[in-house]
Structure 1
Amino acid sequence: MKILALIRTELKRLTATPLARLALVALMTVPLLYGGMYLWANQNPYAKLDHIPAAIVNTDAGARDADGNAVNYGDKVTKQLVDGKDFDWHVVSQSQADKGLRDETYNFVFSIPTRFSSDLTSASTTDPTPAKIGLTTNDTTSYLSSTIADQAGKTIRATVTAEVGKTAAKTLLVGLNDVRDNLKTAASGAGDLASGAATLKSGLGSAQVGAKSLASGTAQLSSGAATLDDGLQTLKSSTAALPQATSQLASGLDTLKAQTASLPSDAATLASGAQQVAAGNKALDTAVSGGVSTADQAVSALPAQLAAAQKAQQQAFDAVSAQAGLTADQKAAVQQVLDAASTSTATTLTTTAKTTQAQLTALQQQTERLQDGSAQVSAGASRLSASAPALVNGIAQLDAGADQLNSKTPALTNGIASAAAGSASLASGARSAAAGASSLSSGLSKLDAGASSLASGATKLSTGLDDGVKQIPATTATSRDRQAAAIADPVSVKDSSIASAGNYGAGLAPFFISLAAWIGMYALFLIIKPISKRAVTAVKAPGRITLAGWLTPAVLGLVQMLALFAIVRFALGFDVVNPVPMIGLMVLASVTFAAIIMTLNVWLGSVGQFLGLVLMLIQLVTAGGTFPWQTLPGPLAALHFALPMSYAVDAIRQLMYGGNIAGAWSDAGVLALWLLGALLLSLVAVRRMTRNRTMRDLRPSLIG
């Protein structure tokens, strides 16, 4: 029987009944579900840390920095954490945080104490105290809660340290810059001092010459003092009558002050009366203007009123004539009389009205002139009333001055007498000044020597200060900010990678792909017969029987690995640098694991199946899929190099991340050796079966 026929026979057996087909499909999907779902669940958990609830309790009361500015680092840290959205932060009270941590509302809590800012700023005081941030965790939410919270705490500490360090460094740099400016000012002052010392030395020579001139001048001063004494005696006699004159002036001003005391009130009364007269004249002018206007209107309306009266008279006459039965001649005679009387009356009324109108117009012109004159009088009286107090005050001040002059005159005359007496003392003092000028000349000689030393020392001081200024670099606000940032964070780590997984899920993928390949083979051998007993009996070709027993699960493993690669690459979206070699390596790992598990089953039966499970558990630990294998204990680290899954994990990593291709080939070679060794052991076992068979070997069974 050929190998393909043996494979078809085994596959036909596996799909002979609905239950068998269901079992095959279920076991084929085991590695897909295991690898795919686990990698899906852990695809990138660090990208969803913002879903982890955490609490911040900020009770920081703030503080004052070295410049006296109010700072609150607790608020800054809280805002930075909330704005960063690294976690699902909740700013709560201490009681809410404690309750939330107990009932697992929050995974961990950061507590910022009241003295947080005070402790941070205490470094510049005589009692520095390190600041503390409390961290409380609850591992019942997840065993990684403490680890994640610790990492977050380190990040906060680094951020706060950099911020405070930058502030401190900036303060130091500002102070250093101030020192430089002050040194520069001091150097300039020292230069001025040296220049001044030289000028002083030069001036001292002139001062010596001046001292000699001073001695000569004091002699002349003595002579002048005598002349001054004569003049003062003459002035004393001339001012003898001055007190009597000032007394008379004060008396006259007192009289003037008394006579003008009532001037403000009289001027105010005059202004008030003038205002009343002006108001009366204004009212009169208004009344006259109203009368003129009324007269004009009456004269204008008089013709119309006369015409109306004549019309009414004519109508009444016509009615009376009709009632009386007057003849035409009688009516004409009466009409003539009435017309004459009406005309005479109208003429008289018109003449009277016009005469009255002309008289009122003349009266209006006179009242207007009267109003203007009274207004001018009122204005003048008001100005007089306003100026009167100032005039009276001026007279009072002049009187007070005269009184003071009168009171001071005796002192003036006494002073002149004292000056005359002091002129003698002045002459004596001038002689003493001549002697002092001689002593001054001697002292100036000594001062000249001291000025020379001062000039030399000032020059050295100026030079030293200039050197000090040069040793302190000049800075600006921008450069100090950069320097402070460099001091606060002097080292930065530049990330680079020759091969990168990309995220957490991709980092686990090689391990779980290899593990899924082993689990897939282990599950398939629950229903696949490692070696066909019938083929052993019917076909005496151990090599073909062994290959057929291995190729059946190998083909199914190929299907599993292709499907798993599609899930990893397309469904989960993990990047694969070398897709085709990676597929080949996955298939190689699957068929190698198939050969190993088949060998265990062929040699040991059910015990071998159990050992396949044990071997998988051992490789879970030794393959180095999660932590580096170097962290393993010694015996387990030795097994890392002995078992095949380690090489499968390493090779998939190299191919998936774009690492060392040569290393992947080396790992593939080790897997190929495991494959070849397992097949050879299976071949040896099949050869033994061909010599020792029983009827039970011919009985078909679903699980072998």
Structure 2
Amino acid sequence: MKIVHLVASELKRLTASSMARLALVALMLVPVLYAGLYLWANNDPYGNLKDVPVALVVEDTGGTLDGKAVNYGDEVRDQLLKDASFGWQVTTAADAEQGVRDGEFDFILTLGAGFSSALTSASGNAPEQAVVKLTTNDTNSFLATTIAGQVAEKVRASITERVGKQAALTLLNGFATVRTNLGEAVDGASKLADGSTTAAEGALTLAEGSGSANIGALQLNDGLQQLQAGSADLPAQAAALNDGAQKVAAGAQDLTVGAQQVADGNRQLADKAAQIASATGQAAADVPAARADIVQQLTDAGFSQDQIDRVLAVLDPLGDAVVQGNAQVQTVNSQIDQLADGSSKVAAGAQDLASGSSQVAAGTQKLTNDAPTLANGIASAASGASELSTGITRIAQGSLDLSNGLNALNGGADTLRDGLASGLADVPDQTADQREAAAQTISDPVALDTSAVTKASNYGAGMAPFFISLAAWIGIYALFLIVKPLSRRALTALKKPLTVTTAGWLTPAILGALQMTAVFGIITLALGYHVEHGWGMFGFMVLTSATFATIILALNILLGSVGQFLGLVLMVLQLVTAGGTFPWQTLPGPLQVLHNILPMSHAVDGIRQLMYGGNLDLAAGDATALLCWLLGALLVSLLGARRMTRHRTLRDLRPSLIG
């Protein structure tokens, strides 16, 4: 009851007058105003960047890509104006320069005259980087400069992706053309391999044929050598042959004359023999009739048959002789006819012989005349045959070398064909749509797939844990401007340091809890931030305020107004080390040590875990750390109160201005 009475007495003192109540309300509203106004002002700054004035200068004169005119500067301008992520204002370079100096524009984004030509230069032999020029002025806003750098990087990445896609598509289309040509090269290499195989076989056959031809050429050379040796006497022999031919021609002429005379005599003999043959033939034909007449006459004369037979016996031999003689005459006549025909043919042959002999004589005369030339020709042929043999030998050797070379060519052609076929298999066979998709992947190969274990709803919610913790400290700090750390009267009268210390802590702790209630309402109701663990976060905020109240109480008990001042210093130190804005790992080493020790660091982390739905074990650890600070500060406060019950110092009797 003593503690409640002491707390009530302090609250009554704080509300004793209108001015006191006004002061108390004003101080109670400090954390609400601090956290509420700051978070409200910074609730969604990135969503309001469209109101930030930015100059956009496009001086791009365009370029040429694949024979087509392009102007990437105009495309970037149109895209930026369409996105409306900033308050883009298209202007001239001079106006933009003056505007960024006067604060009309926060920064300038410039695309120079050679922007497109630089982007398309990669297709030529003198590639160069395109430049996106960013002009800033930190006197306008340092954060605007930081954001400008991020915007320029996004523009650069977007342009890089666009141009990279076009370049990749050009490259892939080139690969498609290479694949087509490579396929044709594989077919050509296959034909070359087949042709070189056939050529090698033909060369081998040529070498074998050349060997056979060489043997023939050697034989021809030997024969011509012998002919050349025999042709040395050819002119003399031709002359002798001509003389004999002339004599043969003369004898053949004489033979012709005699043969003709014989033929004429034989013809006359044949004519006479024909007459005789005709007469004997008639006589032989008349023999049967004559025999019959004699028989008839003898019969008519009265001769007996015996007598007639005796007469016929005498006559029949004569008749037979006539018949036989006729047969011989006919045979001789036929032979005489044959002789006449033969002699005529002999005469004709003699005439032909005479004519041929004359031609032979003329030929032998020509042979005699041409014999020297023929002899020289045979000598030339013999020499040529020798050279032919040598040449064919070289051809045979060359054919063999050609065959070996073609075999090597065939091996190389096979290797070329296999290599081209292997290379063809390595070149992707893509359709136009597949090349389009591949170019998109090449230009933007990595997609950012973000997944958040916990997530703040916006920038203000992200900063809320830090400013709630800071507001809790400021609120408690401000309260101790009017709240007495300890009642010296109660301490002297009761002589119960624990009771008085507890009462001295409960008053600011209760007021701090009310502050945190108001701040929690501002966070959840006025600003509408989502809190995952509402009651847990509210309880943690109250614990945080109570812990800070204990720490400032201990400083005031131990050091008086100096301790109050050190509370301000400690707040500044925790502003730096709490890790409320940047990750605490970016702090210098000594400040990282303080981060892990000082209470505000645990307050910020605990509120984050509870507000965003993080790790409750970590939140419990942060709460434990705050409780340790609370109990430790209470113990220090108790020790200070106990000292005050036993000792009085000159400062207690006559306090100085700074305590």
1:655 aligns with 2:610: yes
Structure 2 partner of 1:150: 149
- Offset at residue 457 of structure 1 (A): 8.2
Q: TM-score, normalised by structure 2?
A: 0.65
Counterpart pick for 2:449 among 494, 498, 503: 494
Instruction: Name the CA distance, whole Å, in 2 between partners of 1:574 and 1:121.
Output: 49
Structure 1 partner of 2:269: none
- Residue range with higher mean Cα deviation, 481-490 or 546-555: 481-490
**CA spacing shift, 1:201–1:660, aligned 2, 3 Å:** closer
CA displacement, residues 346-385 of structure 1 (integer Å, 9 cap, x when unaligned)? xxxxxxxxxxxxxxxxxxxxxxxxxxxxxxxxxxxxxxxx
Instruction: Name the CA distance, whole Å, in 1 between partners of 2:200 and 2:629.
Output: 105
3-state secondary structure, aligned to 2:88: strand
- Offset at residue 40 of structure 1 (A): 1.0
Instruction: Name the CA distance, whole Å, in 2 between partners of 1:680 and 1:621.
Output: 27
Structure 2 partner of 1:476: 431
3-state secondary structure, aligned to 2:54: strand
Counterpart pick for 2:511 among 556, 575, 578: 556
Instruction: Name the CA distance, whole Å, in 2 between partners of 1:695 and 1:138.
Output: 58
Structure 1 partner of 2:55: 55
- Offset at residue 188 of structure 1 (A): 4.0
Instruction: Name the CA distance, whole Å, in 1 between partners of 2:529 and 2:59.
Output: 45
1:508 aligns with 2:463: yes
Structure 2 partner of 1:672: 627
Structure 2 partner of 1:107: 106
Superposition pairs of residues 335-484 of structure 1, within 5 angstroms: 465-484=420-439
- Offset at residue 485 of structure 1 (A): 1.6
Structure 2: which amino acid aligns with 1:631?
T
Superposition pairs of residues 55-74 of structure 1, within 5 angstroms: 55-65=55-65, 67-74=66-73
- Offset at residue 184 of structure 1 (A): 2.1
Instruction: Name the CA distance, whole Å, in 1 between partners of 2:482 and 2:109.
Output: 55
CA displacement, residues 88-124 of structure 1 (integer Å, 9 cap, x when unaligned)? 1111111221222122111111111111111111122
Structure 2 partner of 1:13: 13
1:643 aligns with 2:598: yes
Instruction: Name the CA distance, whole Å, in 1 between partners of 2:416 and 2:21.
Output: 103
Instruction: Name the CA distance, whole Å, in 2 between partners of 1:120 and 1:471.
Output: 30
Instruction: Name the CA distance, whole Å, in 1 between partners of 2:445 and 2:576.
Output: 40
Instruction: Name the CA distance, whole Å, in 1 between partners of 2:133 and 2:429.
Output: 42
**CA spacing shift, 1:190–1:26, aligned 2, 3 Å:** same
Counterpart pick for 2:539 among 584, 601, 607: 584
Q: Which has the larger radius of gyration?
A: 2
Instruction: Name the CA distance, whole Å, in 2 between partners of 1:680 and 1:482.
Output: 70
- Offset at residue 624 of structure 1 (A): 1.5
Counterpart pick for 1:568 among 505, 523, 529: 523
Instruction: Name the CA distance, whole Å, in 1 between partners of 2:69 and 2:109.
Output: 23
- Root-mean-square deviation (CA), in Å? 3.4
- Offset at residue 503 of structure 1 (A): 2.3
**CA spacing shift, 1:198–1:632, aligned 2, 3 Å:** closer
- Offset at residue 502 of structure 1 (A): 3.2
Instruction: Name the CA distance, whole Å, in 1 between partners of 2:496 and 2:197.
Output: 122
Q: Which runs of 5+ in 1 are unaligned?
A: 206-441
Structure 1 partner of 2:162: 163
Q: Which runs of 5+ in 2 are unaligned?
A: 206-391
Structure 1 partner of 2:28: 28
Structure 1 partner of 2:289: none
**CA spacing shift, 1:456–1:525, aligned 2, 3 Å:** closer
Structure 1 partner of 2:136: 137
Instruction: Name the CA distance, whole Å, in 2 between partners of 1:458 and 1:629.
Output: 68
Structure 2: which amino acid aligns with 1:185?
E
Instruction: Name the CA distance, whole Å, in 2 between partners of 1:455 and 1:611.
Output: 95
Tell me if structure 2 keeps the 8 A contact 1:533–1:697.
no
3-state secondary structure, aligned to 1:589: helix
Instruction: Name the CA distance, whole Å, in 1 between partners of 2:77 and 2:442.
Output: 24
Structure 2 partner of 1:42: 42
Q: TM-score, normalised by structure 1?
A: 0.61
Structure 1 partner of 2:339: none
Structure 1: which amino acid aligns with 2:641?
V
- Offset at residue 198 of structure 1 (A): 10
Structure 1 partner of 2:473: 518
Structure 1: which amino acid aligns with 2:462?
G
3-state secondary structure, aligned to 2:454: coil
Structure 1: which amino acid aligns with 2:58?
N
- Offset at residue 694 of structure 1 (A): 9.9
- Offset at residue 41 of structure 1 (A): 1.0
3-state secondary structure, aligned to 1:673: helix
- Offset at residue 496 of structure 1 (A): 2.1
1:614 aligns with 2:569: yes
3-state secondary structure, aligned to 2:142: coil
Structure 2: which amino acid aligns with 1:128?
P
Total equivalences in the alignment: 464
**CA spacing shift, 1:62–1:673, aligned 2, 3 Å:** same
Task: State percent identity of aligned pairs.
Answer: 57
Instruction: Name the CA distance, whole Å, in 2 between partners of 1:135 and 1:578.
Output: 44
